[in-house]
Amino acid sequence: MKASTSSTSVQCKSIVATSNFIPIAAMERSPKLAEIVYNRGFDVVIGDILRIPYCSERFDFFLCIAVIHHLSTMARRIEAVNELARILRVGGRGLIQVWAKEQHGISKSEPSYYVNRKTKTVCNVNDSPESLSKIVEAVPGTYLPLHVNGTEFQNTDMLVPWKKKNYTVTDQLKESNQPLPNSMYGRYYHLFVMGELDDLISKVPALKIDKSFYEQGNWVVHVTKVV
């Protein structure tokens, strides 16, 4: 790498394994997470993947890990990839990773680490089993299935329970038809199926796919900016 090489990391936790010798400009939507990254000595800005606060053709490469699967429409996902292409120099490269619906991979012989570890999200002890629902009204009039962590995904659009204490979400707990309690949060995920990420990248003419593969419950592409 030339000393002038610069990169950006969208979603800050993805910069942990990068080299100390390459200038990294991180971007994170959460102020709290951005503060953690800043305190570890990285340059970081608070921004949105749909409006990246950097000049066009600013970077030699980017990492976009665990971001695009939080966007709820195809139009937004295309807009996000267009933004990534915009900040990349011609000839620059990028990596995009999203969560896969297929948690056993193409061969279906081995479960991903996510399924294998049988992780369970926990919630407050005052939340009764009846308060956890299979279908959750995330937006008025819009209902999404509630995922049980550490299990196979049943749909391509789901809510994943987030960060609670002392009570495990199990298959039995999600069967109720009551709304989620205020103390529990559902985080939106669009789970990509095989070929879907490649198809998304193909809608952005500035990028060419160099490599596309499945890895531990994720779909990953390496891209190069060609125009």
Domains and CATH numbers, the chain: 7-100+192-225 (3.40.50.150), 113-190 (no CATH)
Q: What confidence category does residue 142 fall into, taking pLDDT thresholds of 50, 70 and 90?
A: low
| pLDDT over threshold 70, residue 92 | yes
Residue 64 or residue 107, greater confidence: 64
Give me the chain's average pLDDT, please.
80
| pLDDT over threshold 80, residue 109 | no
Residue 224 CA neighbour count, 13 Å, CB half = 4
Question: What residues does 46 pair with on adjacent strands?
Answer: 28
| pLDDT over threshold 80, residue 69 | yes
Averaged over 33-50, what is the pLDDT?
93
Paired tokens of 59: 């970077």
* CA separation for the pair 174, 128 (Å, rounded): 11
* CA separation for the pair 83, 86 (Å, rounded): 5
Residue 106 or residue 46, greater confidence: 46
Averaged over 7-18, what is the pLDDT?
58
Averaged over 160-180, what is the pLDDT?
57
Predicted confidence at residue 52, as pLDDT, reads 97
Averaged over 204-213, what is the pLDDT?
98
CB atoms within 10 A of CB 53: 11
* CA separation for the pair 154, 165 (Å, rounded): 25
Predicted confidence at residue 186, as pLDDT, reads 84
Question: What residues does 168 pair with on adjacent strands?
Answer: 122
* CA separation for the pair 159, 68 (Å, rounded): 15
| pLDDT over threshold 90, residue 161 | no
Whether the Cβ atoms of residue 49 and residue 67 lie closer than 8 Å to each other: yes
Question: What residues does 211 pair with on adjacent strands?
Answer: 222
Classify 51 as helix, strand or coil.
strand
Residue 199 CA neighbour count, 13 Å, CB half = 7
* Lowest mean pLDDT, pick from 158-162, 191-195, 200-204, 220-224: 158-162
Q: What confidence category does residue 55 fall into, taking pLDDT thresholds of 50, 70 and 90?
A: very high
| pLDDT over threshold 50, residue 147 | yes
Report for 10-19, 85-94, 113-122, 157-166: range of highest mean pLDDT: 85-94
pTM here? 0.76
